[in-house]
Amino acid sequence: MLKTRILTALVLLAVLLPILYFNHFLAFAVVVSCFFGAAIWECFRLFNPGTRMAPVIAAFWTAAFVYAFFVSPSTNTTFWFAISVLVWALRFAPSLKLGLPPLTSAGNTFLSLAYAIAVVGCFAAIVTLFSYSPLYLLSVMAIVWVADIFAYFSGKAFGKRKLAPSISPGKSWEGAIGGGIAVLVIACLSIVLGSDLMEQTFAGRVQASLGWGALVAVLILIVAASVVGDLFESQLKRRAGMKDSSNLLPGHGGVLDRVDALVPVLPLAALIGAWL
């Protein structure tokens, strides 16, 4: 399994890094559209396990996404970011405490559409953040990756109080706090010790525009959103009786398994970026 995970990761890096380094928009559009279609397909499978309509639905949503954000990019992306943030704040985050409706209920259909909209917001944010610069997009994603890596090691070393035992028994409050502290320390040191390049990153732009206090608040909010996104997808998989959202990425599960924490984070970061 470890060899499979490493091989898959190397293949993904071989595809994605040249696109980001050379800032090739057409290749970027193709890759993002493929990943979006896969994520939407997995989304509707999580809400309707065993359905045969998921590929058809995914194809329709992907065609609409490509037209709205690549072919005729006049869509009000800020609207999608705001809607995504509201959906997470008002419906998805509370569900971690209140639970989800049964798979057979009418509320499940509404929830599936809401999550699909959140996925649209996430990938629309990828397009927008990439348009600022590939570095700006990577700097937002790096916040989530750093939080996740250090949360794992902090949880292993100090974890005692379970964060959400009925959803993800392995996650702890100590791990989440450790991940947040690591993000704050690394971001602040990078800005203080970094070059002019830091002004092109998300954290650097927030600090330059709003100051250190606002940067700390924004980073804590971003880390909290990433934890919510991770837990929410785990909750969906538990309810659907699935270990992974799919097996599209050997050794890693599905696309949603890799971007679950990014789904709420990227629209939030894009909304903050638009405001700045």
Lowest mean pLDDT among 11-15, 194-198, 268-272: 194-198
| pLDDT for the residue numbered 20 | 83
Q: How confident is the model at residue 217 (pLDDT cuts 50, 70, 90)?
A: very high
Rounded CA gap, 75 and 60, in Å? 17
Residue that the structure tokens 């896969």 belong to: 38
Q: What is the mean pLDDT of residues 225-232?
A: 96
> Per the structure block, which two tokens stand in for 164?
């959400």
Q: What is the mean pLDDT of residues 42-66?
A: 89
- Residues 108-127: pLDDT tens digits? 888 999 999 999 999 999 99
- Residues 76-85: pLDDT tens digits? 788 899 999 9
How far apart, in Å, do the first and last CA atoms of the chain sit?
Answer: 43
Coil, strand, or helix at residue 50?
Answer: coil
pLDDT over 70 percentage in the chain: 98
| pLDDT for the residue numbered 1 | 62
**Average pLDDT of every residue of the chain:** 91
Are the CB atoms for 136 and 201 separated by under 8 Å? yes
Q: Angle CA(125)–CA(126)–CA(127) in degrees, nearest 5?
A: 90
- Residues 142-196: pLDDT tens digits? 999 999 999 999 999 998 899 998 898 889 999 999 999 999 999 999 999 877 7
- Could you tell me which of 121, 139, 115 has the C-alpha nearest to residue 200? 139
Rounded CA gap, 259 and 51, in Å? 23
Rounded CA gap, 178 and 172, in Å? 10
Q: What is the reported pTM?
A: 0.93
Rounded CA gap, 169 and 159, in Å? 11
pLDDT above 90 (res 5): no
- Phi and psi at residue 168, to the nearest 5°: -140, 90
| pLDDT for the residue numbered 144 | 95
pLDDT above 70 (res 50): yes
| pLDDT for the residue numbered 250 | 80
pLDDT above 90 (res 236): yes
Q: What is the mean pLDDT of residues 239-265?
A: 90
Greatest Cα pair distance in the chain: 54
Q: What is the mean pLDDT of residues 83-88?
A: 95
pLDDT above 80 (res 51): no
> Per the structure block, which two tokens stand in for 209?
């525009």
